[in-house]
A and B are shown apart, each in its own frame.
Chain A
Amino acid sequence: DTAVSQTPKYLVTQMGNDKSIKCEQNLGHDTMYWYKQDSKKFLKIMFSYNNKELIINETVPNRFSPKSPDKAHLNLHINSLELGDSAVYFCASSHGLAEETQYFGPGTRLLVL
């Protein structure tokens, strides 16, 4: 069983479209995260949620809206996609806040044309 799963694995879309990426963890963790790895391979946190509550929002444009329907899910919706949004997006989870061991999903490769 996959601990942290993301769908889709690949996403190719046109500029201006709206798209969503889904994340689910079956580890019973309380905290979930979204990271972005850009073309320079720099891995940077975007959001974190603890028990469905937003904890960290790293000055991400408000075109990006995370939604946590329950502790096991953290979805990422992106409006009006731009070329610069092309990246690999990783979901992760941990037991709680201040937890150094985070478990990452396989990533979603987004390409905006």
Chain B
Amino acid sequence: DQQVKQNSPSLSVQEGRISILNCDYTNSMFDYFLWYKKYPAEGPTFLISISSIKDKNEDGRFTVFLNKSAKHLSLHIVPSQPGDSAVYFCAVLTGGGNKLTFGTGTQLKVEL
């Protein structure tokens, strides 16, 4: 019973272009969403978040969009850089705000 789904296991993008990573969730009551980034042999690191009262949050090259009616969020990276190559996890804060529930991740590869 996956509450958070990332349907694309991998994505390949050319350097300088836009990367769009997608995430769907099942529960309309979820109210805080996050993206984490993970390099091989390292733990995930927090990237950006958004509250359900917003539909967009921007931080430098990273923008997260939230579509509550579709129960969908996306992460845009522009311009994409080779150092962005990593696994990106979408997550929601659940359990009364006490735990993170993660999606299965999308492996992003930014090619030169």
Contact = CB atoms under 8 A, between A and B. Distances in A.
A41 B104 contact: yes
Interface stretch (B21-29, B38-46, B65-73, B78-86): B38-46
- Scoring B32, B42, B49 by chain A CB atoms within 10 A of each residue's CB, the highest score goes to B42
Contacts of B44: 43, 90, 104
Interface in A51-89: 55-56, 58
B32 A100 contact: yes
Contacts of A44: 102
Contacts of B99: 33, 45, 48, 56, 58
Contacts of B89: 43
Contacts of A92: 43
A7 interface: no
Given A42-B104, A100-B49, A107 B43 contact: yes
Contact of A56 (B32, B42, B93, B95): B95
Interface string A83-106: 000000010100001101111111
Nearest to A3: B43
Contacts of A40: 104
Nearest to A102: B100
Interface of B: 32, 34, 41-46, 49, 87, 89, 93, 95-102, 104-105
11 contacts: A4-B43, A44-B102, A45-B101, A55-B98, A97-B97, A100-B49, A103-B45, A103-B46, A104-B44, A106-B43, A107-B41
Given A90-B44, A92-B43, 4 more contacts: A42-B102, A45-B100, A98-B93, A107-B43
